[in-house]
Structure 1
């Protein structure tokens, strides 16, 4: 196995991209509100490198409220076909506007329009209301590019801890953990299953 957690992540992620039928980039994002209420939901990994793991969302959503200054989160990748999971913990920060703009421009046009039409996580009286808003946004941007909404952008989770879990028979699993030290290097160890 690799001694660098990012190299090991890259290896496992590449294998998942080949074996998972749907959304191999899906990860559970766990947050905690200012009042201490935990919440978890699935998001999609849209970028990763040694700086961290990036996803995008509406910055006025419930999850964004939990992702305020100084927030720490947990991510979980679970690849059933490989019988593996990766747990990541660390602080979250905004990605740059340039990164958010570049990713937004790469999205399908309907996804871009949906970002404008949706008041993500807020109450909705009927599906018809959302569909009407989507059509109004479609008409607004007809024939031109769809700019990134000011309330939409990316977040980067900077890992402080990464655990690689490998399923073994009879629950004799293999768990390998990397913890970032103060100097930026990684301390590596094993955990009992």
Structure 2
């Protein structure tokens, strides 16, 4: 980590973010800072779900869009996380930008994106990734690496020319937040924490400063 990033980060801990009254704008600012400072995948986030037995699951996914309507990511709907999200309609996210010593936690309700949104994003993916969406039976048992490579070869041949349609089982989710917590490292573990909460997406945010 460069001294410049450390010094800039220290300056940003001065309390500026704790005065913010709008969490989406604050998140956009922090994501912009992370895009400049993080060496790899500033949009990476931990996604937490719950299975049918009530056991939690967590994995890393990539944020693809974020605005006042929520946080958008894409996956195979037949995967473990896809099934858990469709079943519960709830999830949590965690962003951790180590170089900036910042963390954002999000909890809320999950809904499917529109077909138009999914198609638009799918068409921007590398051709190999679009083939992979067809070839991978995500989260299910795989008898061998060869079986996966064979499926990739079959779909590559099937869609050798022209466009590759989006599989019906591959789409996106939007997490509409009911809670967003911003955390910033401070000396002696006396961190800054601010929690924004609302009862529903149509209501205004309340803001509470939390003990570290």
Matching of residue 190 in structure 1 with residue 190 in structure 2: no
**Structure 1: which 5+ runs fail to align?**
none
Structure 2 residue matching 1:68: 3-state secondary structure? helix
> Is 1:71 aligned with 2:93?
no
**Unaligned stretches of 5+ residues in structure 2:** 1-16
Give runs of aligned pairs for residues 135-174 of structure 1, distance below 5 A: 135-174=153-192
Aligned length: 193
Structure 2 residue 26 is the aligned partner of structure 1 residue 8:
yes
1:143 CA displacement: 1.1
Show the counterpart of 2:60.
Answer: 42
Residue 69 of structure 1, CA deviation: 4.5
Conserved? CA contact 2:50–2:88, under 8 Å: no
Match of 2:8 in 1: none
Would you say the 8 A contact 2:103–2:182 is kept in 1?
yes
**Aligned-partner SS, 2:26:** helix
Higher normalized helix content (fraction of residues) = 2
Q: Looking at CA atoms only, which structure, 1 or 2, has the larger radius of gyration?
A: 2
- Report the TM-score, using the length of structure 2 for normalisation: 0.89
Contact 1:181–1:187 under 8 Å retained in 2: no
Q: Distance between the aligned counterparts of 2:107 and 2:69, measured in 1?
A: 13
CA RMSD, Structure 1 to Structure 2 (Å): 1.0
In structure 2, what is the equivalent of residue 100 of structure 1? 118
Asked if structure 2 preserves the Cα contact closer than 8 Å seen for 1:55 and 1:156, the reply is yes
Distance 1:184 1:48 in 2: 19
Give the TM-score normalised by structure 1.
Answer: 0.97
1:133 corresponding residue in structure 2 = 151
1:111 aligns with 2:129: yes
